[in-house]
């Protein structure tokens, strides 16, 4: 049964924002005191800190909303997931593609060490965007005039990554036509969805040598991906075997830890300050809650995005058929 949004935004927002500010503060301190001297040590600590925050969002998807991610992969791909450095490429299908990536990373045991390319405005989002910045995510303007140098450098980096990144994982995400689109709004309301993901491992040795050929290889991958999406909309499945990735309790335990810690801290804070004993204190508390609600509204609006155009067109064709 769907839960009214107003009843969940405030408690979940308080939980995520307060715990996130604690994590961000520690990240900022480490960024100033440790990173200048040892980036590797800073990254090891930050992996742990990032997971303490990001696992709460995994919990919201897995346990709160009950979203089911169905993974299709061949034996080699499934066996090596999370056990090697890899470059992951994916289509854009829903508002929460980045969360789907985090879920798969968490199942593979590498959530805290993931890196992704995000639009530049993402890093200004309170808590979540700041944590991505401290985790050294790559942010782009989505303007070719501004991003040309960055993108060319990224393509050139493929030749460098050959020495330590053994594989590229081609990921195709689609929402079955009989399942509602998973949006952040639906997830916060506790409304489930189903997501199908197909992953295929390509050895880095398969990659062509020149930048032009790398670009053509990527284009060919996405042409094939569009064909996969159309076929899935017709058949309702991928050819590869379904792999059971379960619903680990780690995200649940981390969320319970934060909930207990913050609840205890809030009780002690209000006892010590007696904030609710005066009208001014009550007004201050109400203003804080309104601020949290506003920030969560901004977060929900920010996650809204256009779906993969090919998939959308195919979905519309399927409806007409």
pLDDT value at 313 more than 60: no
pLDDT of residue 75: 95
Task: Tell me the average pLDDT of the chain.
Answer: 86
Closest of 66, 297, 103 to residue 179, by C-alpha: 66
Band of pLDDT at residue 130, cut at 50, 70 and 90:
very high
pLDDT at 271: 87
CA contacts within 13 A on the Cβ side of 133: 18
* Nearest alpha-carbon partner for 296 in 127, 143, 154: 127
Place of tokens 């042409």: 223
pTM over 0.95: no
C-alpha 286/C-alpha 18 separation (Å) is: 16
Judged by phi (left if over 0) then psi (alpha if -120 to 50, else beta), residue 30 lies in: alpha
53-62, 127-136, 301-310: the lowest-pLDDT one: 301-310
Helix (H, G, I), strand (E, B) or coil at 131: helix
Mean pLDDT of 78-98: 89
- Tell me the pLDDT tens digit for each residue of 4-38: 666 788 899 999 999 999 999 999 999 999 999 99
Residues 6+ apart with CB under 8 A from 71: 78, 104, 197, 198, 199, 242, 243, 245
Task: Give the integer Cα–Cα distance in Å for 23 and 42.
Answer: 14
- Whether 85 and 163 have beta carbons less than 8 Å apart is answered as no
Can you point out the beta strands (E) in 36-193?
68-73, 86-90, 117-119, 138-140, 167-174
**Residues forming a β-bridge with 169:** 88, 201
Q: Is residue 320's pLDDT more than 70?
A: no
Residues in the chain: 321
298 Rama sector, left if φ>0, alpha if ψ -120 to 50, beta otherwise: alpha
| Residue 308 or 150, more confident | 150
């Amino acid at each position: 049964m769907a839960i009214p949004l107003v009843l969940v935004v405030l408690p979940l927002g308080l939980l995520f924002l307060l715990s996130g500010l604690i994590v961000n503060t520690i990240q900022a301190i480490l960024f100033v005191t440790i990173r200048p001297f040892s980036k590797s040590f800073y990254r090891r600590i930050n992996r742990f800190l990032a997971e303490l925050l990001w696992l709460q969002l995994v919990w919201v998807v897995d346990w709160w909303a009950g979203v089911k991610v169905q993974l299709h992969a061949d034996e080699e791909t499934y066996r090596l997931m999370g056990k090697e450095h890899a470059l992951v490429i994916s289509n854009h299908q829903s508002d929460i593609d980045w969360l789907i990536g985090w879920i798969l990373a968490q199942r593979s045991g590498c959530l805290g060490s993931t890196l992704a390319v995000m639009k530049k405005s993402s890093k200004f989002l309170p808590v979540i965007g700041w944590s991505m910045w401290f985790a050294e995510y790559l942010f782009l303007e989505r303007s070719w005039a501004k991003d040309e140098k960055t993108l060319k450098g990224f393509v050139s980096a493929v030749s460098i990554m050959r020495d330590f990144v053994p594989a590229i994982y081609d990921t195709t995400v689609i929402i079955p036509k009989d399942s509602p689109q998973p949006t952040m709004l639906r997830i916060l309301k506790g409304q489930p969805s189903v997501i199908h993901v197909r992953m295929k491992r390509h050895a880095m040795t398969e990659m062509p040598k020149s930048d032009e050929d790398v670009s053509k290889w990527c284009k060919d991958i996405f042409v094939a991906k569009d064909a996969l999406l159309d076929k899935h909309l017709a058949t309702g499945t991928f050819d590869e075997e379904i792999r059971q990735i379960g619903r680990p309790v780690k995200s649940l335990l981390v969320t319970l830890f934060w909930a207990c810690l913050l609840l205890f801290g809030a009780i002690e804070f209000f006892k010590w300050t007696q904030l609710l004993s005066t009208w001014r204190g009550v007004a201050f508390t109400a203003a804080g809650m309104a601020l949290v609600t506003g920030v969560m509204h901004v977060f929900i609006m920010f996650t809204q995005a256009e779906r993969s155009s090919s998939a959308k067109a195919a979905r519309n064709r399927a409806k007409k058929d």
